[in-house]
Amino acid sequence: MTHTKPFSASDDPETQAFLDTLPRKLHEAPLRWAADTPDGIAISDPTRRLTYAELGAAISAAAARLVAHGVRPGDRVAVINENGVTSAVLIYAVSAAGAIASPINARVSPREVAVMLGHLVPRCILYATDSAAAATHAEEAGAVPETDPVIGQFAIGALNDEAVPETGDLPAVIMFTSGTTGRPKGVVLGHQAILYQGASQVVSRNISTEDTLYIVAPISHAIGLGSNLITAAIGGAEAMLAPRFSPEALAHAIAEDRISFMVAVPQIYAKLLDYADAHGIDLSQTTRLRFTGTGGSPVDLSLMQRMKSIFGLPFRNGYGCTEMTPIARVPDGVEASGDAIGIASPGCEVKVVRADGSEAADDEVGELWARGPSRMDGYYKDPEATAATITPDGWLRTGDMARRDAEGSFYIVGRGKELIIRSGFNVYPVEVEGVLNAFPGVMQSAVVGRKVPGDEEVVGYVQAAAGVTLDLDALRQHCRENLSGYKVPTELIQEDLPIGPTGKILKSALAARFAS
């Protein structure tokens, strides 16, 4: 498989030495613990719980089943799933068979699945049918159902004889972007890239066999797979997989299952706190949580304050994307604002770049560029998009607008593609969203641009917390008091916001209303 070089020893010998201590393949991470601590709990979901020894045996058995079915080294194998033990074992098994996994969230529409599969051309498709959504996809495809006494129900699709195996340096996964900005692209990630994601979390957050990681982020996406599932496997911790987000289930996990570590998008935490308030639940009295982290979108200051007051912990923000994560993180012991993403993650280089390619000065807004061992190899079968995103010297153009302060901390200003130009002035949605989210009763918001003859308008969508009726006139006045006139939304719309599989707000769906 042809791709660009994400990292080599010549870039940073210290980081390369660290990489050399890691497993070579994804499935090898849990297998190490199967030998060292076979009775330790490795993975669980609402219906089953496996030790590391049981997980290792399940991976080997599933890999043998795939090989017997006709999966060859270098084959692309789609795994349609929701979070669960079955899904994790199947992804690991594809690695153990020498093939390339392409995890796809079962909750996306049949049309979207067809687009992804048409681009991927997999050798076969696996379905983790403990998910009702995946079972529906399997039934429509005529996949053969199977039941394993350890991992539960799954289905295997027919072999595609037209699928040609990849050759050369084989990646671990082809992961489709969440599609919040348009048509999904297949992101090619190597084993080293994903293992580094997990290892960096283990080292920076001191993950150990004493930890239980609550994983609500889909393992079909970067934050769920690398920053959660693989993190647990490298650290020897328990990965507790939640098939879907439920504030009630999360509150129960905090109180009864005594989870210790969690990384999720901000909207998950906001809904948890609103649920606890509405039901009179005091989360502070039962928690064993020692780390709460987030990423994927800017964090509202009021949410940070609520999280800290309830759990007694700093609410840690980090930054990354499907194409590369982690990129930056707020270090322990540092207080930071909601738009702060902290300093470059160990082994990573980060800079802010002007439109002409030169590096921006302190506090000057430009595009955030990054490179390091977790960067993608490229976009699958899309050399033009790869060349537009990765520079010849290995920098990833993130598309996000940012600034760096004099101390070397980075701050996200907004996505370059989301920039609204109103009356000749730049409006970054993230700033307006921060003001909207600070208004009492607003749970989350999204700001998009609307083209009008000769100009562009700012439109704000707001979702109220449960049981709250917003006074939009008062909210508009709040914006006037806290924003320059050209940044104040022309229109405010209250509704439940569309959410993608990762929990991010689907701004593309909101903007498409104006385009149509």
- 272/306 Cα distance (integer angstroms): 11
Average pLDDT for 290-297:
82
The tens digit of pLDDT for each residue in 370-426 reads: 999 999 999 999 999 999 999 999 999 998 889 999 999 999 887 777 778 787 677
β-pairing, 261-264 vs 291-294, is: parallel
Strands (E), 437-512: 442-452, 455-464, 491-494
Asked whether the predicted pLDDT for residue 516 surpasses 70, the reply is: no
More confident of the two residues 374 and 506: 374
As a whole number of angstroms, the distance between CA 338 and CA 342 comes to: 10
User: Given this model, what pLDDT does residue 371 score?
Assistant: 95
Count Cβ atoms within 10 A of the Cβ of residue 397 and give its class: 0-12 exposed, 13-18 middle, 19 or more buried.
Answer: middle
User: ∠321-224-43 over CA atoms, to 5°?
Assistant: 160
10 versus 429: the higher-pLDDT residue is: 429
320-416 placed in CATH 2.30.38.10: yes
Q: CA-CA distances (angstroms) from residue 180 to 50, 177, 237?
A: 35, 8, 32
What pLDDT is recorded for position 5?
46
Q: What is the pLDDT of residue 265?
A: 81
Lowest mean pLDDT: which of 299-303, 345-349, 357-361, 464-468?
A: 299-303
Backbone φ and ψ for 220, nearest 5 degrees, come out as: -85, 0
- Per-residue pLDDT reduced to its tens digit, 432-477: 998 999 999 999 999 999 888 767 899 999 999 988 999 999 999 9
State the average pLDDT over residues 132-150.
95
Eight-state DSSP code of residue 284? G
> In which band, very low, low, confident or very high, does the pLDDT at 504 lie, cut at 50, 70 and 90?
confident
- The SS3 of residue 342 is strand
Q: Is the pLDDT of residue 234 over 70?
A: yes
- The rounded Cα 300 to chain-centroid distance in angstroms is 18
Q: Is the pLDDT of residue 209 over 90?
A: yes
What is the mean predicted confidence (pLDDT) over 241-249? 95
Is residue 183 very low, low, confident or very high in pLDDT (cuts 50, 70, 90)?
low
Domain ranges of the chain: 23-189, 320-416, 419-515
For residue 68, give the amino acid letter.
A
Q: Does residue 266 contact residue 294 with C-beta atoms inside 8 Å?
A: yes
pLDDT of residue 182: 47
> What is residue 2's predicted lDDT score, i.e. its pLDDT?
46
Q: Left (φ > 0), alpha (ψ -120 to 50) or beta: where does 78 sit?
A: beta
Task: Supply the DSSP symbol for 307.
Answer: H
Helix, coil or strand: residue 497: coil
Q: How far apart are CA 348 and CA 370, in angstroms?
A: 7
Q: In whole angstroms, give the CA distance from residue 206 to residue 303.
A: 25
**What would the mean pLDDT of 218-227 be, rounded to a whole number?**
93
CA-based end-to-end distance of the chain: 39
What integer pLDDT is reported at residue 9 of this predicted model? Answer: 37
| Residue that wins the pLDDT comparison between 501 and 256 | 256
The CA–CA distances, whole Å, from 5 to 8, 371, 397 equal: 8, 10, 15
Residues 219-242, mean pLDDT to the nearest whole number: 96
Q: Report the candidate in 378, 418, 417 with the shortest Cα–Cα distance to residue 394.
A: 378
Residue whose entry in the numeric block shows the structure tokens 């996406």? 221
The architecture (CATH level 2) of 23-189 comes to: 3-Layer(aba) Sandwich (3.40)
Checking DSSP bridges between strand 76-81 and strand 124-127, what pairing results, if any?
A: parallel
Which range, of 21-30, 186-195, 295-304, 492-501, averages the lowest pLDDT?
295-304
Residue from 350, 373, 379, 353 nearest 364 by CA = 353
Spatial CB neighbours of 268, under 8 Å, sequence gap ≥ 6: 216, 245, 250, 503
Angle between helical axes of 85-96 and 52-69 (0-180°, round to 10) = 60
Residue type, 29: A
pLDDT level of residue 181 (50, 70, 90 thresholds): very low
At residue 339, the pLDDT reads: 72
Residue 419 DSSP SS3: coil
Query: With contact defined as beta carbons under 8 Å apart, do 402 and 413 qualify?
Result: yes
Domain boundaries 419-515, CATH class? alpha beta
For 355-401, where are the alpha helices, taking DSSP H only?
383-389
Distance of CA 497 to the CA centre of its chain: 19
Written as one letter, the residue type at 436 is L
The answer to whether 320-416 and 419-515 have equal CATH topology is no
- pLDDT 10s digits, 301-337: 788 889 999 998 888 888 898 899 999 988 766 666 6
- Residue 418: the pLDDT is 79
